[in-house]
Amino acid sequence: MHLYGTTSEQLAEVAVAIRKHASMNPEALFRTPITVDDVVNARVISSPLHLLDCCVITDGGGAVVVASPELARNCKQSPVWVLGVGEALAHQGAGKRNLMEIAAKQSTTPAFDMAGVTHKDIDMAMIYDSFTITVIETLEDLGFCKKGEGGDFVSGGRLEIGGELPINTDGGGLSSNHPGMRGIFLLLEATRQLRHQFEGTPRQVPNCNIALCHGTGGALGSRHSGGTVILGRD
């Protein structure tokens, strides 16, 4: 915020968009819509983050079945294909690392190269959202916008279903669930969207054919990891 002028109101845009998605998910912990004013007027947890900038704490669990193409095509549900993957570690003790960059900057290129797609091909994204600022930093370092432009990028409804890049359509860690290991839920929701499981409802991302999931573990300012997966449908 000091370097790029990102505002609390822009952080709040992330929370508002994700809560809007949570309002359509009957399994989300918090479903009541919120406004930018609600976020910036909530009590401060650790400046500049307010209560609604921070993820919830819940129980939860999930599972993913991975199969060969031959087996996957004979399963009850339509398969979702792993198009590309990338992973990276970031550790400030391993060199003079720029603390304003996170592991997503390294994990994104291998994933896109393997998948053979570009950012414009991504129909939705599931982004680990421990805090609203985590989403903005991740979107920047994944390459959806330039460094420092994340605040503008997330504004104006761009992250909502029907926007340019819908994210966290289950309500995310900010509003739906965060059992500590949130990453599995990124894959679950992306799979449902790619199967068009919510077709005919406001929760379905229109024409959803390719999705990106990115998980982050650890502390962004020190040692942490990042994993990027690009998924697609037939």
Domains present along the chain, CATH in parentheses: 8-232 (3.40.47.10)
**pLDDT 10s digits, 167-211:** 999 999 999 999 988 999 999 999 999 999 999 999 999 999 999
Reference 150, options 140, 160, 138, 163; nearest CA is 140
Mean pLDDT of the residues in the chain? 94
Residue 234: Cβ within 10 Å count: 9
pLDDT of residue 221: 64
Residue 142 has pLDDT above 70, yes or no: yes
Residue 107 has pLDDT above 80, yes or no: yes
Who's near 227: CB < 8 A, 6+ residues apart?
A: 85, 86, 87, 107, 183, 214, 215
Residue 44 has pLDDT above 80, yes or no: yes
**Radius of gyration of the chain, Cα coordinates, nearest whole angstrom:** 17
